[in-house]
Amino acid sequence: MKTLRQVVATRYIEPLRAGGSVPGVVEADDLGTYVVKFTGSAQGRKALVAEIIVGELARHLGLRFPELVLVHFDPAVAVDEPHQEVRDLLDASAGLNLGMDLLPGAVDFTPEALDVDPLEAGKVVWLDALTANVDRTVHSSNLMVWPTFGIQRPRLWLIDHGAALVFHHRWGASAPDKAYDFRHHALGGYAPDTVAADAELAPLVTESVLREIVALVPDAWLASEPGFSSPAEVREAYVAFLLARVRASAVWLPVDFPSRGELAAADAQRAAATEKGRPAWLKRVPDLHGKPAAEQDWSRHIG
């Protein structure tokens, strides 16, 4: 039976404040470096459950996704962390947490950084639609390009699926065939071939595959779920919902995407409207958040 590797954190390097969960860069006893998401974060353990299920499903479908490991974390390794709110988070996260392999030199995806084939774009959109991942938009892609240098052609990598599986926040409130608005998906400008992606990927998401993936989630992260009597019962709920959803793909399959030009025009119109409404003194304030994404090193900002 497949399991996630387990490692022990030996050094806490730094927190990453780009994401609301404030993950941290951690070295482990296998000499690896990981971006660790902590059980004590505001998003809670369900974000870690979503990371495992969606990330491993992406891997099964042939999409590139960094290795996940279970990280045994002792807050004592971060005793020198100077910020009280981060220390509080780490103190609340003693025990088992989730690490993602750090991709050195990876950069945030931009249209300038990489051209994406319509079928690959379609597969990413299909996965996000299947798992109700609402956090891969033109404004927050959660996609990386790696390696940036070297002889190998840069490739697209998926990260950060903590906001997926929205149905598990209110079990029973969302129908398996519910459609979501993916017109502003990060890859919508690449003419995603979701029809071809559906034909190729849907048959791969079987009951046995879903059971194997959901079994990777630690029991402790599924315990005490309201309305369920055991972690095994929660696992069955994930399998049943995702299996019903993949069978209903003809209903929720996204096929309507604006072009890159239409997206750019909409952004320009929105920016102009925002600028017009600013007082004169505010127009002189530099946009500290407007640094081009291509200039940022997102191997240090996964969150």
- The alpha carbon of 261 is separated from its chain's Cα centroid by a whole number of angstroms, namely 26
* Cα 281 to Cα 204: distance, rounded to the nearest angstrom: 56
pLDDT for the residue 303: 45
The mean of the pLDDT values for the chain is: 89
CA 50 to centroid of chain Cα atoms:
8
Provide the pLDDT for residue 149.
Answer: 57
Q: How far apart are CA 54 and CA 127, in angstroms?
A: 8
Alpha-carbon gap, residue 171 to 273, rounded angstroms: 39
Contact 154, 114 (CB under 8 A): yes
Better-predicted residue by pLDDT, 18 or 191: 191
> What is the SS3 assignment for 269?
helix
When pLDDT is cut at 50, 70 and 90, the band that residue 209 belongs to is very high
> What per-residue confidence (pLDDT) applies to 208?
98
C-alpha 148 chain-centroid distance = 20
pLDDT digits (tens, 9 = 90+) for 230-254: 999 999 999 999 999 999 999 999 9
pTM for the model stands at 0.86
